[in-house]
A and B are shown apart, each in its own frame.
Chain A
Amino acid sequence: MTSMTLVRRIAARPSVVFEALITPDGIRQWWGPDDGPVILAESDARVGGRFRVRFRMRDNTKHECSGEYLVVDPPDRVVMSWRWHGDADDTGVSRLEITLRAIAEGAELTLTHSRLRDETIGESHAQGWASALDRLVAIFKQE
């Protein structure tokens, strides 16, 4: 429940997608959540290296997030810790994992942002929680 996963099929080979994910130039191209500019993109894509991205949204609000690379396994997988900066945004340290799989049309990307709100409890708890909540959510959908 405190994690979310999205899957995308992209008509580009995994190495191209991977580069877009981890290089400052790549990050600048896609990171902004709307048409607002990316003001700063730093990325030292190796285990223990850090990234930092600051961007401005169309409503003129600025946001920044940063974290540390935990796994860098090109072109298949990258895992990083993630933290929002700023009072309104800060919800603690979460975990972002992106995996890429070669498919006929290019790459299948799976993005999982987890531990969104439960950094103090163990992973097994988080997983148990996830399944319990999935069921609850299913129930509410039936209403």
Chain B
Amino acid sequence: MVNYHKSLDRTFSALADPTRRAILARLEREQCVSVSELARPFAIKLPAVMKHLDVLNDAGLVTRTKSGRTVTVRIEAGPMRGATEWLRRYERFWSTRLDRLTAYAERKEASLRGGGK
């Protein structure tokens, strides 16, 4: 459980940065992109992009493969699924409660009406 939370924290903090989100959004469109291609649209230097990729890599959100001189980056679905699943737990939590709230409020409304008020 602790590890689960740690890995979620890594996922969420990796996603908290706009540059990293932009990188992921691009990888989501193009599947697999070289590091230098990835760096091109950003007004930051390649080493800064590499740092962002390190964070994404540590969070398991991307993988890098080297072939000759080119490093290509690919998006990984697993951690994102973990993050989505975590959010779904909140959804289930509230969904059950709202079912009960609905039942309670509707009973109350019916009794107000039944009482002719």
Complex alpha-carbon distance, A42 and B98, angstroms: 19
Complex alpha-carbon distance, A17 and B18, angstroms: 39
Given the known inter-chain contacts A10-B106, A17-B105, A117-B8, please indicate yes or no for A140 contacting B21, CB distance below 8 A: no
State whether A125 touches B80 (Cβ < 8 A): no
Q: Which one of B42-50, B64-72, B87-95 is at the A interface?
A: B87-95
State whether A20 touches B12 (Cβ < 8 A): no
A104 CB within 8 Å of chain B: no
B3 CB within 8 Å of chain A: no
Chain A positions within 8 Å of B22 at CB level: 132
Given the known inter-chain contacts A132-B25, A137-B84, please indicate yes or no for A12 contacting B12, CB distance below 8 A: no
What interface size band does chain A fall in?
A: 35 or more
Given the known inter-chain contacts A4-B91, A6-B91, A13-B109, please indicate yes or no for A29 contacting B83, CB distance below 8 A: no
State whether A116 touches B90 (Cβ < 8 A): yes
Q: B residues 65-117 with Cβ under 8 Å of A?
A: 77, 80-81, 83-84, 87, 90-91, 93-98, 100-106, 108-109, 112
Complex alpha-carbon distance, A7 and B93, angstroms: 14
What interface size band does chain B fall in?
A: 35 or more
State whether A136 touches B80 (Cβ < 8 A): yes
B55 CB within 8 Å of chain A: no
State whether B18 touches A128 (Cβ < 8 A): yes
Chain B positions within 8 Å of A41 at CB level: none
Complex alpha-carbon distance, A10 and B99, angstroms: 10
State whether A129 touches B104 (Cβ < 8 A): no
State whether A88 touches B1 (Cβ < 8 A): yes
State whether A113 touches B90 (Cβ < 8 A): yes
Chain A positions within 8 Å of B58 at CB level: none
A79 CB within 8 Å of chain B: no
A39 CB within 8 Å of chain B: no
Q: How many Å from the CB of B81 to the closest CB on chain A?
A: 6
State whether A33 touches B87 (Cβ < 8 A): no
Complex alpha-carbon distance, A34 and B112, angstroms: 27
Given the known inter-chain contacts A6-B91, A121-B16, please indicate yes or no for A33 contacting B97, CB distance below 8 A: yes
Chain B positions within 8 Å of A47 at CB level: none
Q: A residues 36-83 with Cβ under 8 Å of B?
A: none
Chain A positions within 8 Å of B62 at CB level: none
Closest 4 CB pairs of A and B: A12-B109, A30-B100, A12-B105, A30-B101
Given A128-B18, A136-B28, A140-B84, 7 further pairs, Cβ under 8 A: A10-B102, A26-B104, A29-B104, A30-B101, A30-B103, A125-B18, A132-B25
